[in-house]
Structure 1
Amino acid sequence: MARKQAFVVSHKEPQLLVPAKPTPHEIKELSDIDDQKGLRLHISMIMFYRANPLMKARDPVEAIRDALAEALVWYYPLAGRIIHGINEDKFMVDCNGEGILFVEADSNFSLEDLGDAIKPPCLYSKELLYQVSGSDGILGCPLMLVQVTRLICGGSVVAIRVNHVLTDGLGLAQFVKAVGELAQDASSPSTKPVWRRELLTAKHLPPPLQTTYDYPEYGIVSHKSIIDQDKLVSRSFFFGPKEMKAIRRKLPPQTKPRSKFDLITASIWICRTRALEFDADETVAVICAINVRDKGPPELRDGYYGNAVVTSGAVAKARRLLGLLGSPLEYAVELIEKAKSRVTEDYVRSVVNFLVSNGRPPLLRSRSSIAVTDLSRLGFDEMDFGWGKPVYGGTMDGGASATAITHARYRNSDGEDGVLVPVFLPPAAMKKFEEEMKKFTALDPREVIEIPSKSLLKSTL
């Protein structure tokens, strides 16, 4: 039997890519949402493209590299570096035009060879996004790393890593869309970038009308708070038409319509709580990241590419999710809906003030809480550099954490469109999680999810 060929990517020397034209040299302030401690990290997105016979004469590496340089003229702060502001707790951007990192690469695999490896968490992430030594810091490092990999079939892979302090998922999507437009000979991006970070900065905002908001996502503590991040396994769970139909059937009759995000998130929250075997009286939470571009002035809605996301937590005693009292799914969905509905313009002002007054604290990352981000609507599955839409476009690693999950848009091998959610848990907990999730997504009405397993019942006594 012939040995399966190993996946190999040949990387050329990384280069600094500067804006195609001279750009302003200045120091820019970040918002109080931008430089909170919880965003001092990097986020990665990836797009896989089939070969396009009409583009055979054009090299994707060259086309995207040139378009990136043009886009950086419009988004010139991304070519700068993060520096300390008036104190070490406050960051600013030195728009010095030093550039972003760009890597050209070639692979011995075709898109067909990659198969399911393209779905998050991407099996070949380290090869498709080369981690340039010393490039992943927050201060004084390039703010973006882009790798374009040619596949032997004529297809390509575009992977991007960005410093989260500068932008969120929607802001990055706006930049990548601009690159795609410029790669197809547009004279300028269709959406012009808006900086205006003062719109989410406490000293420029009117005080909130209400000062009694709670922020449980910054203060939930469990006595079993640690999950060893080095001993996790990952599984990706697909929620297509059949799975969503099954989940909706688990709600009581005559229940009002619920969103797909709320149903999937509630199901995962319940299954995770059961898999980790919380005691009945322990507090558990799900923390939802909410886009607030529609919660303020028009400048936030069209072109703003800074971080415009706040969080709101849904909190419950574990017994309600273990199924000891009523319908856990209906209860969890209602808590998530209530948490999302709290996020008004006044709530956003209050969060900004809270962050500044409390030293920009990080979100709680513990065994008892899970942060959820919906990346399924960012538009990375629509990004076109001239070769058409990607086969898959979205998150690369799916969070890679036991305390965070992301929703990604995905089309499975049967051609069904749905949402893919990578989950990371210790091996024993993952086995239980899979068992619980099978109950949620089973169309057979005889599957009963409200009755917890014997081991879970023992843990509540």
Structure 2
Amino acid sequence: MGTLNREVPCNLPGDLEVTIQESSMVFPSKQTERKIMFLSNIDKVLNFDVQRLNFFASHQDFPPHIVVDKLKNALADALVHYDFLAGRLKVNSQTGRLEVDCNSAGAGFVVASSSYKLDQIGDLVDPNPAFAQLVHKNKDFLEPGDRPLCVVQLTSFKCGGFAIGFSTSHTAFDGSSFKTFLENLAALAAGKPLVVTPCHDRQLLVARSPPHVSFAHHELLQLDNLRPRFDSGVIGASSEQLDFKIFQLTSDDLKALKERAKSAEGHHSTACITGFNVVTAHVWRCKALSGQDDDPNKSSTILYAVDIRSRLNPPLEKSYVGNAVLTAHATANCKELEEGPLSKLVEIVSEGAKRITDEYARSAIDWGELYNGFPNGEVLVSSWWRLGFADVEYPWGKPRYSCPVVHHRKDIILFFPPLNESEGGVNVLVALPPREMAKFQSLFHKFFLL
């Protein structure tokens, strides 16, 4: 059995003493066509920024100042192939739809330094809130009201190591297409051609005319306008005091959970017993019961993203850029979650993904056309587990670690890989008020050992 939980150390530096040395715009290295890019109904409600970090050890041949030049030039070349990334979001005055004005206004680029060495900022797996200093926010980047869709920040450490932080609008990429973007960026930095030619035709996910909603879509919440409501529900930041804990499951732990799900009485199918499904089922019941108000009939809904590229008919190209993900959901009452076998919960979770067929996906997109639907549930699993950001090979090597920037949100549970991904396993980051965290931790151990 692995280390089932550990607290995020309280002695992590709360201030990385980051100094911004230069902020500038990077423009496409060649002239690009001025045009308007359509955003799908999946894209348009994801109008918020996502921050990601890549940490790199020092490299004799690639000190930070050399990497700055190569990265900046590679980004300029990438903006030729990803011209929308140099554009700006705008609302069409006639249709009211959010779209991208591909106007070559540029992407942001920040050069910074920290007074710390890389090995002084703690275990990189520990989600230090101070890591937010390593990623620049897109809003009002150089001028008030100017919000680039992409800002890249390179922060050098005293040891020669460095971090590259990306802040991108979620309208630009989902996890899969951002991984492809990084692979192409790395190739361009090495003077090589693109690894994958991106597919930018977001009309492939346009709503049907007329829209036809053929499912109930309980996982979607009707919005009053085009923008998600970040002040409520699973997306909203919490004002409560939160404890942060990492629950580490080794490959042996995952194997044990899978075997328990397989061995349950009456369970015959192993098709749904994946690492993701068993961990999701396990943390779902712990999260739901940790906040239980003693009502066994209280319902809990968990949300998680499903890539629809291969589920559509015809399938989307794997190179499709944009958001080709929909939110799967699983619902059960607290009595089922507490008393049901793991196998049953795994089946409920897996049914959420199986539900997303071509017709279901088209129905969800059509729902967005009519109601601006946005994911709605009590808890959201955001999985960075198998996206493979740390597998990207840059001229200066692979990242020592790749991770999201952690936010103060209690209803989002993060899955991400261990520092040494070859060992297998997964890290589960949970943020909860102290009393709920104590109960979650107790339940995590109890249900793991059953």
TM-score tier, shorter chain, comes to 0.7 to 0.9
Structure 1 match to 2:282: 267
The offset of 1:241, in angstroms, is 1.6
Task: Indicate yes or no: 2:360 matched with 1:347.
Answer: yes
CA distance in structure 2 between the partners assigned to 1:247 and 1:405 by the alignment: 19
CA distance in structure 2 between the partners assigned to 1:340 and 1:350 by the alignment: 15
The offset of 1:244, in angstroms, is 1.5
Instruction: Name the SS of the counterpart of 2:373 in structure 1.
Output: coil
Structure 2 match to 1:312: 328
CA distance in structure 2 between the partners assigned to 1:150 and 1:29 by the alignment: 37
CA distance in structure 1 between the partners assigned to 2:182 and 2:396 by the alignment: 14
Query: Is 2:139–2:148's contact at 8 Å kept on the other side of the alignment?
Result: no
Task: Indicate yes or no: 2:250 matched with 1:235.
Answer: no
Structure 1 match to 2:227: none
Query: Is 1:247–1:440's contact at 8 Å kept on the other side of the alignment?
Result: no
1:19-60 Cα distance to aligned partner (Å, 9 max, x none): 111111111211121112xx1211111111112234359721
Task: Indicate yes or no: 2:365 matched with 1:363.
Answer: no
Query: Is 1:196–1:299's contact at 8 Å kept on the other side of the alignment?
Result: no
CA distance in structure 2 between the partners assigned to 1:393 and 1:228 by the alignment: 23
Structure 2 match to 1:149: 155
Instruction: Name the SS of the counterpart of 2:280 in structure 1.
Output: helix
**Structure 1 residues 301 and 248: CA distance shift in structure 2, 3 A:** same
Structure 1 match to 2:183: 177
Structure 2 match to 1:291: 307
Q: Which amino acid aligns with 2:23?
A: P
Task: Indicate yes or no: 2:193 matched with 1:215.
Answer: no
The offset of 1:86, in angstroms, is 4.6
1:105-131 Cα distance to aligned partner (Å, 9 max, x none): 112222222232x22634322221133
Instruction: Name the SS of the counterpart of 1:124 in structure 2.
Output: helix
Structure 2 match to 1:78: 85
**Structure 1 residues 271 and 9: CA distance shift in structure 2, 3 A:** same
Structure 1 match to 2:174: 168
**Structure 1 residues 297 and 190: CA distance shift in structure 2, 3 A:** farther
Task: Indicate yes or no: 2:400 matched with 1:394.
Answer: no
Instruction: Name the SS of the counterpart of 1:178 in structure 2.
Output: helix
Instruction: Name the SS of the counterpart of 2:136 in structure 1.
Output: coil
The offset of 1:201, in angstroms, is 0.7
Query: Is 2:245–2:429's contact at 8 Å kept on the other side of the alignment?
Result: yes
1:53-98 Cα distance to aligned partner (Å, 9 max, x none): 3435972112111111111111010000001125574111111101
CA distance in structure 1 between the partners assigned to 2:89 and 2:181 by the alignment: 18
Q: 2:20 aligns with which of 7, 11, 17?
A: 11
Structure 2 match to 1:321: 337
- TM, length-normalised to structure 2: 0.86
CA distance in structure 2 between the partners assigned to 1:431 and 1:165 by the alignment: 37
Query: Is 2:18–2:113's contact at 8 Å kept on the other side of the alignment?
Result: yes
**Structure 1 residues 296 and 132: CA distance shift in structure 2, 3 A:** closer
Q: Sequence identity of aligned pairs in percent?
A: 28
Structure 2 match to 1:454: none
Task: Indicate yes or no: 2:345 matched with 1:332.
Answer: yes
Structure 1 match to 2:226: none
- TM, length-normalised to structure 1: 0.84
CA distance in structure 1 between the partners assigned to 2:32 and 2:151 by the alignment: 20
The offset of 1:384, in angstroms, is 2.4
Give RMSD over aligned pairs.
2.9
Structure 1 match to 2:205: 200
Query: Is 1:83–1:91's contact at 8 Å kept on the other side of the alignment?
Result: yes
Structure 2 match to 1:384: 393
Structure 2 match to 1:456: none
Query: Is 1:15–1:103's contact at 8 Å kept on the other side of the alignment?
Result: yes
Task: Indicate yes or no: 2:109 matched with 1:102.
Answer: yes
CA distance in structure 2 between the partners assigned to 1:163 and 1:388 by the alignment: 26
Structure 2 match to 1:455: none
CA distance in structure 1 between the partners assigned to 2:55 and 2:411 by the alignment: 27
CA distance in structure 1 between the partners assigned to 2:109 and 2:374 by the alignment: 30
The offset of 1:276, in angstroms, is 0.6
Q: Which amino acid aligns with 1:52?
A: H
Structure 2 match to 1:25: 34
Q: 2:431 aligns with which of 414, 424, 427?
A: 424
Q: 2:292 aligns with which of 262, 274, 277?
A: 277
CA distance in structure 2 between the partners assigned to 1:108 and 1:412 by the alignment: 26
Q: Which amino acid aligns with 1:353?
A: D
Q: Which amino acid aligns with 1:142?
A: P
**Structure 1 residues 23 and 259: CA distance shift in structure 2, 3 A:** same
Query: Is 1:286–1:370's contact at 8 Å kept on the other side of the alignment?
Result: yes
1:290-328 Cα distance to aligned partner (Å, 9 max, x none): 1011123667223211110011211111111122xx42x
Q: Which amino acid aligns with 1:23?
A: T
The offset of 1:249, in angstroms, is 5.0
Query: Is 2:107–2:149's contact at 8 Å kept on the other side of the alignment?
Result: yes
1:320-377 Cα distance to aligned partner (Å, 9 max, x none): 1122xx42x222111111111011111111111111111x122225xxx212232222
Structure 1 match to 2:418: 410
Q: 1:190 aligns with which of 192, 195, 199?
A: 195
The offset of 1:435, in angstroms, is 1.4
CA distance in structure 2 between the partners assigned to 1:28 and 1:44 by the alignment: 23
Counterpart mapping for 1:247-258 below 5 A: 247-251=257-261, 253=263, 255=267, 256-257=269-270, 258=273
**Structure 1 residues 376 and 73: CA distance shift in structure 2, 3 A:** same
Query: Is 2:129–2:405's contact at 8 Å kept on the other side of the alignment?
Result: no
CA distance in structure 2 between the partners assigned to 1:228 and 1:379 by the alignment: 27
Q: Which amino acid aligns with 2:43?
A: D
